Structure 1
Amino acid sequence: MKKQELAAMIDHTILKATATEADVKRLCAEARENGFASVCVNPVHVALVSRELAGSKVRTCCVIGFPLGANASEIKAAEAEFAVSQGAEELDMVINVGALKAGNETRVRKDIAAVVDAVAGRTVKVIIETCYLSDDEKRAACRAAMEAKADFVKTSTGFGSGGAKIEDIKLMRESVGDTMKIKASGGIRSYADALAMVEAGADRIGASSGIAIIAEAE
């Protein structure tokens, strides 16, 4: 895969607690220069990112209910609305993992739908945190995301006990078919990692190592 093709699939990401405005501005400059899909940040940085990316094709992406997914649905919806008001075009929300583990798929679906409905017209990616789930739970999470009419299912926050795995991407693709897109994130640090995820069925790559990844693609 050529450098620009891969770059256009990468969400250039900075979600660490210590991220400063200078760090975020640097990330935005890198994203503009390299043609990344988006810059993904915590809600506090959304307005800054939106300003820095103005006039470019790079989208502003914000995480919701991050990283645990344990907020009430109403809070996630309000957080998503706020992010959109600040300029977010894409929202990466974390599911209620505990509800899924308890077998309450209906609650998970309603949780996702609360965010989808709150930001109608914006892209919603649903983080299912695969490292904590059995295969059946991963399928249930994908099913809930489909029924809630989200746009993507996403593997990981990068803050859990594990990140993206090839077998999970394949399972998620089998679960959603062509009805949704898939984002692989968590531990993707090289061109080989990224290419393997794309070959397994990923449409988007979330990474804080985007520059290193595309440098290898050259």
Structure 2
Amino acid sequence: MNKQDLINMIDYTLLKPTASKADITTFCNETIEHGFKTVFVNPYYVSYAHSLLSPHNIKVGVPIGFSLGGATTHTKVEETKEAIKNGAVEIDMLINLGALKSKEYDVVKNDITEVVKASEGLLTKVIIETALLTKEEKITASELIVEAGGDFVKTATGFNGGGATVEDVQLLRSVVGKNFGVKAAGGVRNYQDAVDIVNAGANRIGASGAIAIISGKTSQTSY
């Protein structure tokens, strides 16, 4: 995989809770310099990042229900609508993990469905936090995402332990099929990690250490 192909697949992220406006400015300048196509910032910074990046045709995405997933569906829907008004064009939502663990699958599916509706056709990725799930739960969650109309299943936030593994990406790809999105996030720290993850079936990568990854170095962050 050449460097440009990898750059095109990476969502560059800055989601740490202590990120300042100056950090976001630096982050956006780095995004422009290195040619990333999409960034993810917390909802508070969507409007500001959009103002800096839209002149360069760089998309701003937003995490919803981040980073625990336990917000009500109404809250996730309103958060999605506000983010879109502020310039977000990709939505990465976290499923209701408690409902999944409780086998309340209708709740999980409805939660996703309502956010997909609120997204009004924008790309919606659904985070399942693989490190916290059994194999059977990963399969069930992925099936629910497909049924609910999501566009991607995403491995992890990177904030709750674990992250993307080759084995998990292979499993998710086997469940959702070849034409569905699989985003690997959390734990992709260097170029070889990225290549291995893509070969396993991921077609998008989320990484805060994106610059290190494309430069052949090793990122020190896990999200």
TM bracket (short chain): over 0.9
Whether the aligned pair in 2 keeps the contact of 1:156 and 1:164 (CA below 8 Å) is yes
Structure 1 runs (4+) greater than 4 angstroms displaced: none
| 173-182 vs 63-72, greater mean Cα deviation | 173-182
Instruction: Write the letter of the residue equivalent to 1:47.
Output: S
| 56-65 vs 167-176, greater mean Cα deviation | 56-65
Distance 1:179 1:76 in 2: 27
Whether the aligned pair in 2 keeps the contact of 1:131 and 1:162 (CA below 8 Å) is yes
Q: Corresponding residue for 1:157?
A: 157
Instruction: Write the letter of the residue equivalent to 1:209.
Output: G
- Paired positions, count: 217
The alpha-carbon deviation at position 87 of structure 1 amounts to 0.1
What SS does the corresponding residue of 1:19 show, helix, strand or coil? Answer: coil
Over the matched positions of the two proteins, sequence identity in percent amounts to 47
The alpha-carbon deviation at position 48 of structure 1 amounts to 0.7
| 22-31 vs 131-140, greater mean Cα deviation | 22-31
Q: Deviations over 1:48-92 (max 9, x none)?
A: 111111122321010000000000001000000000000000011
What SS does the corresponding residue of 2:189 show, helix, strand or coil? Answer: coil
Whether the aligned pair in 2 keeps the contact of 1:27 and 1:39 (CA below 8 Å) is no
Whether the aligned pair in 2 keeps the contact of 1:4 and 1:34 (CA below 8 Å) is no
What SS does the corresponding residue of 1:8 show, helix, strand or coil? Answer: helix
1:215 equivalent in alignment to 2:208: no
Instruction: Write the letter of the residue equivalent to 2:193.
Output: D
Instruction: Write the letter of the residue equivalent to 1:199.
Output: N
Distance 1:200 1:206 in 2: 15
Distance 2:45 2:185 in 1: 20
5+ residue gaps, structure 1, are none
Whether the aligned pair in 2 keeps the contact of 1:146 and 1:179 (CA below 8 Å) is no
Q: Corresponding residue for 1:131?
A: 131
Distance 1:172 1:207 in 2: 19
After superposition, residues 161-180 of structure 1 pair within 5 angstroms as 161-180=161-180
Q: Corresponding residue for 2:113?
A: 113
Q: Corresponding residue for 1:103?
A: 103
